[in-house]
Amino acid sequence: MTSPGNSAILQQTAALYRRRRLVDRLMTGVMVVAVIVAVVPLFFILFYLLKEGIPGLSLDLFTQEPNRPGKEGGGVHNALVGSGIMVGLALLIGVPIAVGTGIFLSEYGQNRAGSFIRFFIEVMAGIPSITIGLFVYSLIVANQSGLLPVMGHFTAFAGALALAILLVPIVARITEEMLLLVPRSLREASYALGAPRWRTVLRIVLPTALPGIITGIMLGLSRIAGEAAALLFTALGNQFFSTDINAPMDSIPRRIYVYALGPYDYWHEQAWAMSLILVATILIISLVVRALFGSRVTVRS
């Protein structure tokens, strides 16, 4: 049993095993380092948002209009209202289309037509927002045909339309998924009572999936609330307070962009404060959604 050759082999095997185990531990260590590298930026960003953003928070920020450039003080009331109006209008335009798409995909979409539409939804989700902005610019702002009163100039409507285009794929995908989660037995109970398919969907399936669909809408909302690139050449921006959807309108993300590029310290301070408000809003939505519906869905910008 203990011939010299045999023990040499044993020694070799033991050495080999030690090396294999070392490599295994080394790679586990590398993975842990990667996790730290991946998580650290988040903490840095949140830390600086709080550190730089809190000093800029004031009542004026919420209630005052921007001063002329260079004059300290003032607020971003117009941008807050503008963001609210455009996001609201984008929801009005986008949600019916997105929910309709989701219904079609879940109810009638287990075939070639469904795959076809699903493919375009996926592609739509991947278009860069600046490209969507220029598309809406060409379609509405640069359109001199006068077909619609909102055409031919920069308008809040164009901004809302661009945001709606960003919103649709997000909400449509989540709606489809949520509708597919509704138990078959509920539909069958409705069919058994003689209800046609469309009434079953509207009266049984949609209400059952409603919390999930609302989640999807909130996620979409937090995605478009932070969007600036799609608004640059559609809603443009506005130094003054405006609620006219047929005129240029300001928004929080665009104002952050402008102030970040600008030369004044108080602009930078206000940009940090606006970023803090924006990120806090988005994170609160995300946490609420997660607390209510678990980890199946996530927010993204």
Partner 1 sequence: MTTRDLSRPRRPSSLQNRLQLGDWTFRTLTGLAGLVAMAVIVGAFYELGSQAWPAIKHGGISVLWDTSWNPGRQEFGVGVFVIGTLITSMFALVAATIIAVLVSLFLVEVAPGYISRPVSYLIELLAAIPSVVYGLWGIFVMGVFVRDHFGPVVVSTFGWIPIFDGTPLITGLFSACVILTVMILPTVMAVSRDVIAAVPRSQREGLMALGATRWEMIRLTVLPYARSGVMGAAILGLARAVGETLAVTLVIGNSVRIPDNIFSPAYTMASVIANQFPEATGLHQSALIEVALILLAITFIINIVARLLVWKVTGGHRAVVQE
Q: For partner 1, which is the closer residue by CB, 55 or 243?
A: 55
Residue whose CB is less far from partner 1, 156 or 206: 206
CB 266 → partner 1: shortest distance, Å?
14
Shortest CB 159 distance to partner 1, Å: 15
CB of 240 vs partner 1, minimal distance in Å:
19
Provide the minimum distance between the beta carbon of 57 and partner 1 in the complex, in angstroms, as a whole number: 16
SS (H, E, C) the chain: CCCHHHHHHHHHHHHHHHHHHHHHHHHHHHHHHHHHHHHHHHHHHHHHHHHHHHHHCCHHHHHCCECCCCCCCECCHHHHHHHHHHHHHHHHHHHHHHHHHHHHHHHHCCCHHHHHHHHHHHHHHHCCHHHHHHHHHHHHHCCCCCCCCCCCCCCHHHHHHHHHHHHHHHHHHHHHHHHHCCCHHHHHHHHHCCCCHHHHHHHHHHHHHHHHHHHHHHHHHHHHHCCCCCCCCCCCCCCCCCCCCCCCCCCHHHHHHHHHHCCCHHHHHHHHHHHHHHHHHHHHHHHHHHHHHHHHCCCCC
- CB–CB of 200/191 below 8 Å? yes
Q: Give 48 or 62: the residue with its C-beta nearer to partner 1.
A: 48
- Please check whether residue 99 is in contact with residue 199, taking contact to mean a CB–CB distance below 8 angstroms: no
- Residue closer to partner 1 by CB (options 8, 261) is 261
The number of residues in the chain equals 301
Please, what is the minimum distance in Å from the beta carbon of residue 115 to partner 1? Answer: 9
Cβ 185 to partner 1 shortest distance, Å: 21
Q: Is 9 or 243 the residue whose CB approaches partner 1 more closely?
A: 9
CB-nearer residue toward partner 1: 96 or 243: 96
DSSP-assigned beta bridge partners for residue 74: 66
Instruction: Please state the closest distance from residue 124 (CB atom) to partner 1, in A.
Output: 5
Residue closer to partner 1, measured from CB, 74 or 262: 262
Q: Which is nearer to partner 1, 6 or 131 (CB)?
A: 131
C-alpha 202, offset from chain centre: 27
Q: How far is the CB of 204 from partner 1 (least distance, A)?
A: 14
